[in-house]
Amino acid sequence: MAALAEQDSGSAARILAAARELVLKRGIKGLTVAEIAERAHVAKGTVYLHWSTREDLLVGMFARDFLAMLDAFTEAIAADPDAARPSRLLPLLVRHTVEHPFVRALQIEDADLLGALTRHPRTTRLREDLGPAALMYIALPVWREHHLARTDWTLDDQAYALDALLSGLLIAATGERVLPVVSVADPARVSAAAVTALLGPETPGHGDVQATAEAALTAIAAKRDVLLDSIGKRED
């Protein structure tokens, strides 16, 4: 498995930090490799030692945000298997999406921040492989098997409805909405209740929650390995 550039190079770490700072401050439009290099206090050519193009650098930076989110899920579920329950995992997904700015930007297609990369094939692939819809198709069969989600709907219908609910929760959490703001004291509690209302009550038997957590950790590890290999290959 390929190592990330910043794991072996201080200059690569500085370049990524500089690029992240600049993009979050002013967006991608008009941002140049020369500007990133100047902020990182390296020569322009040093950037190209690690990334062939500006696009490789920026998409790699987005991918690292998804990697950090997957690691956060792993940590939460390993520490508490109950976090793999839908009523816990879905609010956690919303929170971590909001906390990782490039994951958030890709999910809501924030063109002000992402510019031409908003719907670029490589960023679209990130969203399709690691976004809520993709995760639902991984999680729902496990939840259904272990009595954590109703089974009187087809999987496709259930995934569609759950993805729509998640999209709405993300819009509410990020403030990207045109409807009047409705405030609640505990959004996570309301989100959990909405998930339970959609998927039905959780009625796991002995060992079901632990089995669900183990399946979640295995799925996350597989996604992480593929993502890490993808980043590494781009930076070889």
Residue 28 lies in a domain: no
Q: In angstroms, rounded to a whole number, what is the distance separating the alpha carbons of residues 7 and 114?
A: 26
Q: What is the number of structural domains in the chain?
A: 1
Residue 83 lies in a domain: yes
- The structure tokens 């597989």 sit at 222
**Does 7 map to a domain?**
no
Q: Which residues contact 132 (CB under 8 A, 6 or more apart)?
A: 93, 97, 107, 163, 166, 167, 170
Contact 209, 84 (CB under 8 A): yes
Residue 5: what pLDDT?
Answer: 76
DSSP label at 42?
S
pLDDT at 69: 93
Dist. CA 150–CA 131, nearest whole Å: 22
Domain of residue 149: give its range: 62-234
Any domain includes 26: no
Residue 182 confidence (pLDDT)? 65
Task: Provide the whole-model pTM.
Answer: 0.88
Within-domain flag for 15: no
Alpha carbons 150 and 140: distance in angstroms, whole number: 10
> CA 90 to CA 159: how far, in whole Å?
13
d(CA 39, CA 107): 28
pLDDT at 135: 82
- Given a contact cutoff of 8 angstroms between Cβ atoms, the answer to whether 41 and 15 are in contact is no
Structural domain contains residue 226: yes
Mean pLDDT in order along the chain per 10 residues (236 residues) = 73 95 94 96 94 94 94 96 95 90 90 92 90 83 97 93 88 65 79 94 96 96 90 68
Q: What is the pLDDT of residue 169?
A: 86
Encoded tokens for 123: 């960023």
pLDDT of 176: 58
Q: Does 47 reside within a domain? A: no
Q: 32 in a domain, yes or no?
A: no
